[in-house]
Structures are given as C-alpha cells and as structure tokens.
Amino acid sequence: MELLAARSRCRHLAKTLYCSFTLPNRRGWPPETLQQTIASFSRDEKTQVLAWLSQRGPFLEQDRQDVENDLFFFETEDVTDLGLGEAARRLTHRSQSAVYSFANGSTRDFRRTPLRVIHGLLEEPYGSLDVPNCWTLEDLLKLSETAVPDPESWREVLTRSRDQFDRLILGDHCLATLQGTPFSPALARRIVALLGILQAIMQEMDENGALSRKGEELRQTYFVGDRALFSDESDTNKAQFKEEMTFVDPRDAEKRLTCFWHGKINTPKFRVHFDWPVSSPRGGLRVPYIGPKISKK
C-alpha cells in the first residue's frame, strides 16, 4: 500500500512505473499468487490495487520494445516477458531504464544492483546488460525524480531532440507529419530512442564518413539482420514509393532529398527516414521525415 500511496503522490512515478498483466498470477513468498494475497486486503485496499493492476497500468505488454533476437535470461530464468526483460530491451535501444524489486517478494534476494541480464541463449549469448535495480521505496522515488520527464507534445519531442542530438538535422516538415497522429508518450520514447542511436553512430564517424570500431559495432547491432531497427527499402518499394519518399531537404527548403533508409517502429507502424550513407558527415545526418509508414498497404 505504501507503493500505491507513492504513485498517488508522484505523477511521474505513476506514468513510468510499468507492471505486467501477468503480475497478479506471479507467486511470491509465502508461495501464493499476488491475487491470493490481495484477497486478504480490506475492500478499499483491494479496489485500489486491482484498479492499478487491471485497468490503469501502464502495462509492459502495451509498450513492448522490438529487438532482434528477443530472448533474455537472468541467471538461469527466462525473463523475456517479464519486467527485467523489458528493461533490458530498452537498454539495448539506449533508453533510460531500471527495475524495482520487492526485496521480500521471493526466495531469491534481489537487494543488489545492477542485475546482469544475458541477451540470447545462455550457451551462446549475444551479450549482457547491467540493469539498474532498486528495492526500497525511497530509492524508487529518487530514481523517478532524476528521470527525464516525458515530453507532452510532438513539438516538444522535436525541440528536445534538436537540443540533444547535435549531429542530426531534423526537418521542419517532421512536425506536420507527426501532428497527424495523436500524441503518445510511448511512441515519442521510441522515436527518441531511434534518434539517439543515429546520434551515437554519427558521433563515431569521421569527416570522411568512416566509422570508429565502436561506430561499426553500433552499425552491426542496429543496421544488420532481419529484425534490425534500421534498414533500406526493398527494390519494389523504391520503385513504387520513390516520390513519396522524396522529402524537403532539412538543410535547404528549395531542394528535395530521397531517403529510403529508415528506423522502424512496428506498433504503430512508424518510420524515421534519414539520408544514408551520409552525404556530408561533417554537416550532420539529415532526417527529413518522422511519421506513419509510407509504404503501408
């Protein structure tokens, strides 16, 4: 109930503390489900908890990030569909993420940080991620206070992104295409995460367009593979949608720029089109379009 009270006091915590639809059926210690534990609460307490866990959320399943090779383990447990797995997914996208653990919630002691999560099979991992963890309400509130608040409009998303990502040139036309979609904090976070990856790659690129070793690792991670976050258009789409994928040049409104390379968001179908390979590395990476998928049938 202390956690519920904290959510009521802290608006930002209420918006950023995710839970899972499966949480009521998870077993703790003693070995009973949360649903069974809730049954012993007073009527008012029960109503508050169930309203959070069944109606208000926010829920992991409604804001799940897409990653290639979507498999995560903590120690020997598959946490792909749990909060720890989602936190790891967000870290692969270079998004801010952490978890809150119930210190006495199971036979395992979670009073430690970070929690190392293995990405991929235990026998053949792709890598590992250290997920920040807190287990006291005091630390959770401190973490919430230091987290960057979500933007509240598409205009604010673009303003913040232009301030934060100095190696990207976001076209003025992006606002018009974004405003055709109702504002969504979850979608905004995914867009900013894609822009952050492009910024990180550009920071590892020299004036001739060559990537450092770290930059090449980023390119391999995010640009290569069937489920990569960034990809080129198919030859069919290039022929069919060339005109639609030719945009106002962010550097010169009198010119046009064809951009087939794009970052992908699948729920909803959104794209971030950018100039790749970079025409002028020193001048920055041009991003003329952020909006709904153009080739959507």
How far apart are alpha carbons 99 and 112 in whole angstroms? 11
Is 129 a residue whose pLDDT tops 60?
yes
**Residue 104: what pLDDT?**
62
Write out the two tokens for 51. 């309203």
* Residue burial 69-101, b: 16+ Cβ < 10 Å; e: rest: ebbbbbeeeebbebbbbbbbbbbbbbbebbbbb
41-45, 56-60, 147-151, 279-283: segment of lowest average pLDDT: 147-151
Write out the two tokens for 274. 């950018």
Write out the two tokens for 116. 């190392």
Q: Are 223 and 230 in contact (CB under 8 A)?
A: yes
- Which residue do the tokens 């940080």 mark? 113
Q: Are 296 and 241 in contact (CB under 8 A)?
A: no
Q: Where are the beta strands (DSSP E) in 12-144?
A: 72-74, 77-78, 99-100, 115-120, 125-131, 133-134
| Percent of all residues in the chain with a pLDDT value above 70, rounded to a whole number | 96
Q: Which helix (H) or strand (E) holds 37?
A: helix 34-38
Is 176 a residue whose pLDDT tops 70?
yes
How far apart are alpha carbons 276 and 211 in whole angstroms? 13
pLDDT category of residue 30 using cuts at 50, 70 and 90: low
How far apart are alpha carbons 161 and 163 in whole angstroms? 5
